[in-house]
């Protein structure tokens, strides 16, 4: 079967340009910004079937389909977005964007500052999850969408879905929070700091102004990705996939384990496709995410403004954002008298499970989305 069959097919990038001054939560200002996004499916007559997809740390706007006929690799969540899939584009109008500060076309450190004519680089300001949600809300207004049928995200995307429900309660009917946490643990912050240090220690980093110097801190970014990738997998999953098997080597070369070869390959590919400053920015946004911090660490009080239904999904082998962290969210939602469903999925794939078409996971997500579609048809 052709890889493009049973998918959204060829999709086109679009650009939203916000010309007004945008004040960030830090107090810094952007004179203007743009967001690159894609849409899948059709918006219905009363614009009630829109679904927003919020991406994770290294994600972007290309969540489903292909950019051209030669593309062999579909969007990062093609397993769940498309015709007759869990997020069925025959029923829903799906919006997926590259976040502010990203490196896939949206305004970020690798873009030109219109006030200086120079690449932002290290001068690009800190961007928070709250800032992302507010910028996404501007895109939402531009698209003429008054309320999302669902806001969905995994990992850092799940944190954005939670922030949407808190900050824009009238604009969210359902929120799906997958493999996320109400705030990062000290261990998670530590992993992010090691990754940032690896990047910043690369001689090619040039204090964050490497593009102006026509350089790329690829070694530092490669190490950062290797560190991250190990934390996204589980011990059982790595044991099953790699064990202690050696990679085939040519005569005279020292053999290396398959897991070493895998990590080197993943790191090398990532270091050529992602921006180091964006990686630093995204991990800092992760570290700083703590909506309950403004409410005396009372998460139940924090989520009180939310009016939507919630689905919270976690995975048994995810030790980066463990099942217990999702239970914290669920307990807070119950205490706040919110309508919440929760599922804990058995998996050996670690944190990466949220990206994979695990049967029970897909069935639960499909069931939740089908209920939403049914309610839309009845309204």
- Residues annotated as part of the active site: 155, 318, 351
- 81-82 and 22-23 strand pairing: unpaired
Q: Please, is 258 exposed, middle or buried when counting C-beta atoms within 10 Å of its C-beta (0-12, 13-18, 19+)?
A: middle
- Written as one string, the DSSP assignment of 13-48 is -EEEEE-S-EE-TTS-EES-EEEEEEEES---TTS-
3-class secondary structure, 175: strand
Which tokens hold the place of 306? 């939310």
CB atoms within 10 A of CB 23: 12
- Bridge partners (DSSP) listed for residue 172: 148
- Do the beta carbons of residue 36 and residue 54 sit within 8 Å? no
| Nearest to 351, CA basis, from 379, 309, 320 | 320
- Cα separation of 330 and 343, whole Å? 10
Measure CA 344 to chain center: 20
- Written as one string, the DSSP assignment of 321-354 is S-HHHHHHHHHHHHHTT--EEEEEE--SSGGGGG
| Nearest to 63, CA basis, from 41, 42, 33 | 41
3-class secondary structure, 280: helix
Q: Which residues contact 276 (CB under 8 A, 6 or more apart)?
A: 199, 202, 205, 208, 210, 216, 217, 220, 221
Which tokens hold the place of 135? 């910028």
| Nearest to 342, CA basis, from 309, 376, 369, 370 | 309
Q: Which residue has the tokens 């050696």?
A: 246
Q: Which residue has the tokens 């384990």?
A: 257
């Amino acid at each position: 079967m052709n890889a493009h069959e049973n998918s959204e097919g060829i999709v086109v990038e679009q650009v939203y340009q916000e010309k007004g001054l945008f004040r960030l939560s830090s107090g810094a200002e952007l004179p203007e910004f743009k967001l690159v996004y894609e849409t899948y499916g059709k918006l219905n007559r009363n614009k009630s079937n829109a679904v927003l997809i919020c991406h994770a740390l290294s994600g972007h706007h290309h969540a489903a389909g292909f950019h051209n006929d030669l593309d062999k690799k579909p969007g990062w969540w093609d397993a769940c977005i498309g015709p007759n899939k869990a997020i069925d584009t025959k029923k829903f109008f799906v919006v997926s964007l590259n976040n502010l500060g990203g490196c896939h076309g949206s305004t970020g450190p690798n873009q030109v500052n219109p006030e200086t004519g120079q690449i932002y680089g290290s001068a690009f300001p800190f961007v928070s999850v709250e800032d992302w949600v507010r910028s996404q809300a501007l895109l939402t207004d531009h698209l003429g969408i008054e309320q999302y049928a669902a806001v969905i995200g995994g990992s850092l995307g799940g944190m954005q879905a939670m922030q949407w429900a808190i900050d824009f309660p009238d604009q969210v009917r359902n929120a799906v929070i997958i493999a996320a946490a109400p705030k990062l643990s000290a261990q998670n912050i530590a992993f992010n700091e090691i990754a940032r240090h690896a990047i910043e220690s690369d001689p090619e980093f040039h204090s964050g102004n490497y593009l102006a110097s026509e350089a790329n801190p690829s070694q530092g970014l490669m190490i950062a990705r290797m560190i991250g990738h190990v934390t996204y997998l589980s011990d059982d999953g790595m044991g099953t996939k790699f064990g202690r098997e050696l990679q085939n080597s040519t005569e005279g070369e020292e053999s290396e384990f398959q897991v070493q070869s895998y990590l080197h390959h993943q790191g090398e590919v990532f270091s050529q496709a992602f921006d180091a400053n964006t990686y630093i920015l995204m991990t800092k946004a992760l570290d700083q995410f703590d909506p309950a911090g403004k409410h005396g660490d009372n998460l139940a009080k924090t989520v009180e403004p939310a009016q939507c239904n919630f689905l919270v999904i976690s995975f048994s082998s995810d030790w980066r954002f463990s099942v217990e962290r999702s239970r914290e969210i669920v307990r807070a939602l119950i205490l706040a008298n919110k309508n919440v469903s929760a599922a804990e999925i058995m998996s050996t794939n670690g944190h990466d499970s949220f990206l994979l078409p695990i049967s029970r996971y897909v069935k639960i997500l499909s069931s939740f989305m089908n209920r939403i579609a049914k309610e839309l048809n009845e309204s």
